[in-house]
Amino acid sequence: MAPFWVGTGWKMNHTRADAAAYAATLRASPLPRAPGLQLFVCPPFTALATVADGLGDCPVKVAAQNIHWAAAGAHTGEISAAMVADCGATMAELGHSERRHDIGETDEEIGRKVRAALDAGLIALLCVGETRLERRAGAAIEATVRQLKLGLGDVAADELKRCLVAYEPVWAIGEGGVPCSPADAASVHAALRAAMAEKAGAVGVVPPVLYGGSVNLENCRALAAEPEIDGLFVGRAAWQAEGLLAVAEAALEVRRQRTA
């Protein structure tokens, strides 16, 4: 059975000491080894190695929050896929809404980063999500499927098995965000899955589609009960390790009941 994914992006939070404590808490818990669950953590670059080293053989995946598309060279301030892999990352989170909207990353650039992640042997976690205006205009599916197609534009069908997609509506993320209902998330997830099935054809595997945006301990059960949702991408509610573990445990319990 495919695992249910639960992960967190720390954004620009946590020192190396915080990161070491976070990793130690995960390592001390039996939950990361629970069948049917795959945890991941996206620390800032400065804490990648601390988290990866602190986790040791604990099977929580470590993801960078961004990479540059180039393998090396004159790109001051940037970090390559090989560099994050060297710090212990096995995944890269790409196209988060804060990078699209605050930094101005384009779909074309995000597609190049997805390519670079795969070329370096990383799992590419592509984030897509519509703005409030796009949703109000009835264009949520159109906007997210467009981001998906451009983000995965240079990915071959047989490479889809090394991709994950996170549906993170911009209006649902962060302070003041309104969590998406499981039913609304499900309709976008189904559209994303259909677009990927077309791309996958006979040889490819359709990547898991995670939901992110104001997930917390209160709403995670209802989201996890929705069959279209293959995992949860959590921000604020998992910035402490106990928060990630609590959401993961609750979600896993619901998934187990659903498949029992």
Site for ligand PEP in 170-229 (CB under 6 A): 173-174, 177, 212-215
Q: How far is the CB of 178 from ligand PEP (least distance, A)?
A: 10
Distance between CA atoms of residues 246 and 52, nearest Å: 21
- The correct pick among 150, 195, 223, 234 for binding ligand PEP (CB under 6 A) is 234
Distance between CA atoms of residues 165 and 210, nearest Å: 6
- Whether 159 sits among the annotated catalytic residues: the reply is no
Q: Is 232 in the site for ligand PEP (CB under 6 A)?
A: no
Question: How is residue 186 written in tokens?
Answer: 């499900």
Name the phi and psi angles at 232, rounded to 5: -125, 135
Count of residues that bind ligand PEP according to CB under 6 A: 14
Nearer to ligand PEP, 80 or 216 (CB): 216
**CA 5 to each of CA 152, 220, 255: distance values in angstroms, whole numbers, following the listed order:** 20, 12, 11
Question: How is residue 168 written in tokens?
Answer: 């993170």
DSSP state of 204: -
- Whether 242 sits among the annotated catalytic residues: the reply is no
Answer whether 94's CB lies under 8 Å from 122's CB: no
Site for ligand PEP in 13-42 (CB under 6 A): none
Q: Is 255 in the site for ligand PEP (CB under 6 A)?
A: no
Residue nearest to ligand PEP (CB): 235
Name the phi and psi angles at 2, rounded to 5: -65, 140
Among candidate residues 14, 68, 93, 96, the one labeled active-site is 96
Hey, which residues are catalytic here? 96, 168
Residues forming the site for ligand PEP (CB under 6 A): 9, 96, 168, 173-174, 177, 212-215, 233-236
